[in-house]
Amino acid sequence: MKRTRRDFLRTSAVVGTVAGISEFVAFSPQASSAVESPHMKTLTEWLRADHEARKRGVEDCLLRIRELEPSIHAWVQVKPENPTAEGPLSGIPFGVKDIVETRGMATEYGSPLYKGRIGSEDAAIIQDVRSRGAILLGKTVTTAFAYRTAGPTRNPWNLEHSPGGSSSGSAAAVAAGMVPFTIGEQTRGSMLRPASYCGVAGFKPTYNLLPMQGVLPVSKSLDTLGLFTHTPADMLALWKALGHPPGREEQFAFGAPDPIPDCEPEMANAFRQALVLLRRAGVDIKTVDISEMLGKLDLANSTLMFYEGARFHEPRLKEFGPRLDPPLADLIRTGLKIPEGKYDEARQYIASSRIRLAEIFKSTPVILTPAATGPAPMGLSDTGDPRMNAPWTALGTPAMSIPMPVAIGLPLGLQLTAGLGQDSRVLEAALLLGERFDAGPRIASS
């Protein structure tokens, strides 16, 4: 029998008290009325709702968190802030990854070493989103220091599987219908991989397009803020609400790599069938020869992350010694051994690849690849392999994961990317492909 995420959420919910969410009682004394209203899940629904419906929607989100959080563990703290402005996102709640500074709210970096740390100011991205009327609901779980050590978050599709990382809580909170959108961050594959695993839309904009002030770094050349929503339509609507220019309908050929980048059979089969489905729906897709380059870009990304991350976090190793998160300590020790020449070579390869990709984008303005190597891994200790996403993070190009229409099993994402600055093109293309997927048959991943 096919089991949907809605079935899972209905049957696996656990009612209980969750640490850090008691504040919602004072925020919404009439919260019990929310259960009588239809649950607004997608941002598109929220944007269509009037002021009173949005107020009830916030109450509904808080009740949903209280119900589901004991199973999913997506949140570090839920502490709804009062609205501070009127704008296109007025009254719409959101969550943010716990490496983003938030005034008066937990900012613990996913590490027990910083347990109880409270942010002293709002990061630039928080100021921007709140200035448009959105309500910061709380902080979502991250892996320790946005690196490898997983937190407690579980995948809403199957609690025995990872939600991915490092933006695990942000992806899971949207997938579980706790909030209509969240903010995450990516250094290798920390957003698009969780989006693929959790069956939601994840968008990594062009490097440095969203402000990084107040965000804990891993690698200054790679770190990029991004967004999670339920659907491609939601993501496009959010992008517009954040003041970014809309795209336009275009006719062009998409690119797809042949051979397919090395991934698990389940993902490879789904990717092939998705391309067949799209071609039958009238989408023009041409073959591009980029798989070898993507493999080298993954290695270049890793070199930059280790080199820069080691130098930023070295003071932490000196301060905490053996108490520091072991994977981060290993990153520091390994990264400090990387010579400057190897670092420079990696940067040069990335720069030359940007030139080569710019030519490919002229004939195939959007390229399609798998968004992860496979479905979400079993267990919580392994957050998955980022090599499908890391090349695009290295290049700084906009990239997005949207769910492929798999018939059964865990979600699998399709990744779209375009040239630097072509964010709206990616979003419009994702909307188009999402509509084709919705109108077509389901695909088998095995």
DSSP string, 145-203: GGSSS--S--BTTBTTB---SSSHHHHHHHHTTS-SEEEEEESSSTTHHHHHHHTSEEE
Q: For the beta carbon of residue 74, count every other beta carbon within 10 angstroms.
A: 31
Is 178 within 8 Å of 138 (Cβ atoms)?
no
Q: What pLDDT, on a 0 to 100 scale, did the predictor assign at position 20? A: 54
Q: What pLDDT, on a 0 to 100 scale, did the predictor assign at position 125? A: 98
pLDDT per residue over 324-366, tens digit each?
Answer: 999 999 999 999 999 999 999 999 999 999 999 999 999 999 9
Q: Whole-prediction pTM value?
A: 0.93
Instruction: Kindly list the structural domains of the chain, giving each domain's residue range(s) and its CATH number in brackets, ordered by start.
Output: 1-287+361-446 (3.90.1300.10)
Is residue 8 predicted with pLDDT exceeding 60? no
The alpha carbon of 383 is separated from its chain's Cα centroid by a whole number of angstroms, namely 13
Task: Name the percent of the chain lying above pLDDT 90.
Answer: 89
Q: What pLDDT, on a 0 to 100 scale, did the predictor assign at position 78? A: 98
Is residue 136 predicted with pLDDT exceeding 80? yes
Q: What pLDDT, on a 0 to 100 scale, did the predictor assign at position 35? A: 37
Give phi and psi for 400, each to the nearest 5: -145, 145
Q: Which two tokens stand for residue 172?
A: 């899971």
Higher pLDDT, 21 or 98: 98
Give phi and psi for 314, each to the nearest 5: -55, -40
Is 180 within 8 Å of 190 (Cβ atoms)?
no
pLDDT per residue over 185-223, tens digit each?
Answer: 999 999 999 999 999 999 999 999 999 999 999 999 999
Is residue 22 predicted with pLDDT exceeding 70? no
pLDDT per residue over 23-37, tens digit each?
Answer: 443 333 233 333 345
Distance, CA of 112 to CA of 444 (rounded, Å): 42
CA end-to-end span of the chain: 16
Q: What pLDDT, on a 0 to 100 scale, did the predictor assign at position 311? A: 98
Q: Apex CA 385: angle with CA 384 and CA 388, to 5°?
A: 130
